[in-house]
């Protein structure tokens, strides 16, 4: 195998310096016409405005949802406190002392004495 196969000598590119710049500007001027440039600019501005509008809409919706979540948490805490209060009230009302007191005042019932109880 020979090491020179497929190897080419380096030839630097030559740059042509032309003092006439009208040729260089005319090459770029032909890429987009004035109408195409205006349409492109209008589309870019419309896309920018649309993007900003969608971003603001999403931000507003996020803020509304955060406020709603805060309100629901506050309501949940209030319901939990009410539940604790009601459980305490139920425990107090179902206690033996409370039942005996209400039975004596409202229904005129009383616990029997030892001599009133007969066992068979």
Residue 23 covered by a domain: no
Residue 57 lies in a domain: yes
- Taking only the tens place, the pLDDT of each residue in 76-119 is 999 999 999 999 999 999 999 898 888 889 888 888 888 888 87
Residue 38 has pLDDT above 80, yes or no: yes
Domain assignment of residue 39, yes or no? yes
The Cα 78–Cα 89 span in angstroms is: 17
Using alpha carbons only, give the angle 28, 34, 40 rounded to the nearest 5 degrees. Answer: 95
Task: With a cut of 90, say whether residue 24 has pLDDT above it.
Answer: no
Place of tokens 């409202």: 106
Residue at 26 is within a domain: no
- Domain span at residue 76 reads 31-112
On the question of pLDDT at 56 being above 80, the answer is: yes
Residue 70 predicted with pLDDT over 70: yes
Mean pLDDT of the chain: 85
Q: What total of structural domains would you count in the chain?
A: 1
From first CA to last CA, the distance across the chain in angstroms is: 124
């Amino acid at each position: 195998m020979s090491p020179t196969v497929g190897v080419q000598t380096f030839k630097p590119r030559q740059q042509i310096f032309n003092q006439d710049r009208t040729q260089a500007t005319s090459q770029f001027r032909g890429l987009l016409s004035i109408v195409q440039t205006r349409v492109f600019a209008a589309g870019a501005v419309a896309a920018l405005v649309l993007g900003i509008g969608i971003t603001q809409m999403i931000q507003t919706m996020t803020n509304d949802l955060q406020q709603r979540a805060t309100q629901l948490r506050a309501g949940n805490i209030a319901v939990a406190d009410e539940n604790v209060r009601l459980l305490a009230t139920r425990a107090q009302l179902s206690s033996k002392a409370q039942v005996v007191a209400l039975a004596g005042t409202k229904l005129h019932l009383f616990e029997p004495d030892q001599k009133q109880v007969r066992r068979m």
